C-alpha cells in the first residue's frame, strides 16, 4: 500500500458505493448503527466489532435487494 492510499483506505470489497449505515458511539461501550440517509437508528450493540458486523449485514441485505431488482 502506498502512502497516498492511506488518505482513502478501502472500507469493503465494494468500494464504488458509499455506505448506507454508520456505527456511532452512543455511550460507554455502546454503539448505534445509524442509517445515513435518514438518521434513524437501525440497531445497537454493546461491542464495537458486533456493531460493525451488524452494519455490514444490513449493507449486504440492501445490496441483495438491489441486485434482485435488476
What is the per-residue pLDDT across 35-64, written as a single tens digit (0 to 9) for each? 999 999 999 999 999 999 999 999 999 877
pLDDT of the residue at 17: 79
Report the 3 state secondary structure along the chain.
CCHHHHHCCCCCCCCCCCCCEEEEEEECCEEEEEECCCCCEEEEECCHHHHHHHHHHHHHHHHHHHHHHC
pLDDT of the residue at 3: 47
**2-42 pLDDT, tens digit each:** 445 445 555 555 557 789 999 999 999 999 999 999 999 99
> pTM for this structure?
0.70
Amino acid at each position: 500500500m502506498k502512502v497516498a492510499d492511506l488518505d482513502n483506505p478501502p472500507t469493503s470489497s465494494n468500494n464504488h458505493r458509499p455506505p448506507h449505515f454508520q456505527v456511532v458511539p452512543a455511550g460507554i461501550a455502546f454503539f448505534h448503527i445509524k442509517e445515513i440517509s435518514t438518521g434513524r437508528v437501525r440497531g445497537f450493540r454493546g461491542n464495537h466489532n458486533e456493531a460493525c458486523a451488524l452494519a455490514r449485514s444490513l449493507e449486504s441485505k440492501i445490496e441483495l435487494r438491489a441486485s434482485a431488482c435488476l
